[in-house]
Amino acid sequence: MLIDDLNNASLARPFETFGLQKNPEGQNGFFLRTWLPGAISVDVKSIDGKKKLGTMARVEEDGLFELNFPNADKEFNYLFDVQYQDSKIQVIDPYQFRNEAYAGLSTMRNEAANLYRTMGAQLVEIEVEGVKIKGVRFAVYAPSASNVSVIGDFNFWDGRRHPMQRSLMGEWVLFVPGLGEGERYKYELKDPFGNRLPHKADPVGFYAEQYPSFASVVYDQTRYKWNDAAWVESQKNDKLKQAISIYELHFASWKRHENGDSLSYREMADELIPYVKEMGYTHIELLPIMEHPFSGSWGYQPVGLFSPTSRFGTADDFKYFVDQCHQNGIGVILDWVPAHFPSDSHGLARFDGTPLYEYEDPRRGWHPDWNSYIYDFGRDTVRQFLVASALVWLDYYHVDGLRVDAVASMLYWDYSRKAGEWVPNVDGGNHNYEAISLLRWFNEEVYKNYPQCMTIAEESTAFAGVSRPTYTGGLGFGFKWNMGWMHDTIEYMKKDPIYRKYHHSEMTFSMIYAYDENFILSISHDEVVHGKLSMLYKMPGDEWQQAANLRAYMGYMYAHPGKKLNFMGTEFAQTAEWNHDSQLQWWLLQFDKHKGQKKLIQDLNAMYKSEPALYNADYDKSGFMWLDHSDYQNSIFALMRRDANGENPIIVVSNFTPTTHEQYRLGVPTTGKYKVILNTDSKYYWGSDYDLGGLEFEASDVSWHGQYHSIVLNLPPLATVFIKRIGD
């Protein structure tokens, strides 16, 4: 019976039951039916409220009302005056708006971006019979659900009151007049067998509450007015030839209030932006800012891929933060996680009672490393969902780039799995062709629609062509983190200097493959957690030697081809491992050692941005030359960088032992005067300020290091020195 279906929230096609329906064949006109639990009486009025059209008959005590209009020759719009026990309200019946509920669904499938412009909770305004009606159009994809209702404060979280209509393609839709921004809502779904599922947050929701409700919130994406047009225009350049120095940070633990609370988006705009400008970074990179239920995941277990987390404020507040970054010349990169998602009951897991977003086979659909689900990269609806979730950040939130986390885990079926725990591809191999195809499409969509932005892969294997165009068979990323360089060089630096000569190649090996990809040299958050020690305490020796080693290493990093990334805290030599539950050790900056490290990073960034030789030929073999990579006995490395025109060389020499070297001869390309432009051993950085034999040197005609000319200087201990030709 109908009343049983209504009371059990089991009505799948309410448009065929509610609203105006044609009278049975042989009868003229229409009849009107509505379901208003708890109502005593219902009057029908014209949509402008000026004319009473009749009083409905209550045909069921539970709230089912009907009224016949035998003389009506066409459908018309209307509203209800509803009398309850202690109140009277006016209601515009959502079930008269069939076409409005379906609006946009046909175009959604034509372009990924249409998904976030159509699905979820969209604020709309319609006009009928001269009356403008504002409301929210809800649309959620749940093809295997037997019933779906939208629930919220507006209907007492009662799944009986607003059943949604199922489309032929599996979306459930309903336009609810009278709702606006700020309304809390979720979806109540029943699985294919009619079993009620845990209430689900909106997969395409733009804003959400925190624990315990995890409710989605209707949000107006059009309200915020941006002021970053000049920045966006300035970014239409070749990123490969741009100076990019990235400050990676975790929003909640960069700095906190005295009571331990995190700073808000707007407070971070006030605090972080001046600091990043002072330090000279070109970009910040945020660990995932997308909504996630567990803070201890650092954001890498997201459930709201379309919404900035409400931990730090509203979505408009996040837009303000990005806008302020741009107005101050700072780019914003976000970590984006399509590799896996958590099993929280309000999220995507078994969304409609079936594996809608995840692979069904746990050998493909469950991540042993993170105890989380894996997206079904071969399903078209999932692919649309993921690419849309990437594009929304470039579109609505104006971010400048996306770093894709855990790409290696997507590329290989046997990633972190033993024999028998994975299923080969159709060719019997371990490559996930579906994930490869998705990543290529993602990159094509980003660069087609937002060519001023960049994509970055965290990919830890030797998979070929990660940062090569898709038309050549590559994955299409703009950049790739150089995990090999990071691992090798840190392992080298951890060695006592007396043993480094046996590991000399660990510092040079990266140049063998340096031009295989567009690399970013990354010292990320993963290197300072889980017992790996801080960057300072990875270094051997006493207090001074630890700091000197770190300074020399940072100098070597800025000399090496590739864009730069450092995690927060390294810039002032934090002593503790990163702890996501507390702020950085800002108190260390009262000590000269940490002030010195901070000053060094400022000066390295300033030099890096001012010397094109250090960045605009990063991916051109002509931009780099070893002067001496074989002096393993002394652990000395000498190299030369040139700009894209093969000019303006910068000579760099690193000494990774505490031993000084008097009268060290260094090859240079031409005659003239050469000047030290940065020395990590300077007293300004808490170095020994060892006498180099001057700050300017005249080149002689003595050939050295494969060059026709050379200069002679004293090499300081545990230091990297940058030298530039300044004239004849």
Q: What's the angle, vertex CA 18, arms to CA 12 and CA 21, rounded to 5?
A: 120
DSSP code for 166: E
State the catalytic residue, choosing from 316, 458, 527, 571. 458
Question: Nearest-5° angle of CA 41, CA 46, CA 50?
Answer: 95
SS3 67: strand
Q: Residue 128 pairs with which residues in a beta bridge?
A: 131
The CA angle 623-628-631, to the nearest 5 degrees, is 150
Rounded Cα distance, 393 and 342, in Å: 21
Other CB atoms within 10 A of residue 427 CB: 8
Using a CB cutoff of 8 Å and minimum separation of 24, what contacts does 543-549 make? 543/593, 544/686, 544/688, 545/658, 545/718, 547/573, 547/593, 547/596, 547/597, 547/686, 548/658, 548/680, 548/681, 548/687, 548/688, 548/717, 548/718, 548/719, 549/493, 549/656, 549/718
List CB contacts of 146: < 8 A, sequence separation 6 or more.
10, 12, 190, 191, 192, 193, 194
458 is catalytic: yes
Report residue 551: phi and psi, to 5°.
Answer: -65, -45
Task: Report DSSP state, residue 606.
Answer: H
SS3 assignment, position 570? helix
CA distances from 470 to 379, 440, 492 (A): 20, 6, 35
- Residues 638 and 627: their CA atoms lie apart, in Å, by 5
Max CA pair span of the chain? 109
- State the DSSP H helix or E strand holding residue 34, giving kind and residue range, or none if neither: strand 30-35
Q: Catalytic residue among 100, 323, 405, 459, which? A: 405
289: nearest Cα among 256, 258, 267, 321: 321
* Token representation of residue 353: 């009672």
Q: How many CA atoms lie within 13 A of 4 on its CB side?
A: 1
For 158-193, b/e burial (b = at least 16 CB within 10 A) is: ebbbbbbbbbeeebbbbbbbbbeeebbbbbbbbbee
Please report, in angstroms and rounded to a whole number, the separation of the first and last CA atoms in the chain: 97
Q: What is the C-alpha separation between 683 and 566, in angstroms, rounded?
A: 23
**Are the C-beta atoms of 515 and 536 separated by less than 8 Å?**
no
C-alpha 500: how far from chain center: 38
CA 74/CA 651 separation, integer angstroms: 84
Give alpha helix (H) positions in 533-681.
Answer: 535-538, 543-559, 592-610
Query: What secondary structure letter does DSSP report for 331?
Result: E
Q: Do 546 and 540 form a contact (C-beta atoms < 8 A)?
A: yes
Nearest to 28 by CA among 57, 66, 69: 69
The set of residues, in sequence order, having a beta carbon less than 8 Å from that of 267 and lying 6+ positions away, is none
Distance CA 83, CA 39 (A): 6
Instruction: Give the active site residues.
Output: 405, 458
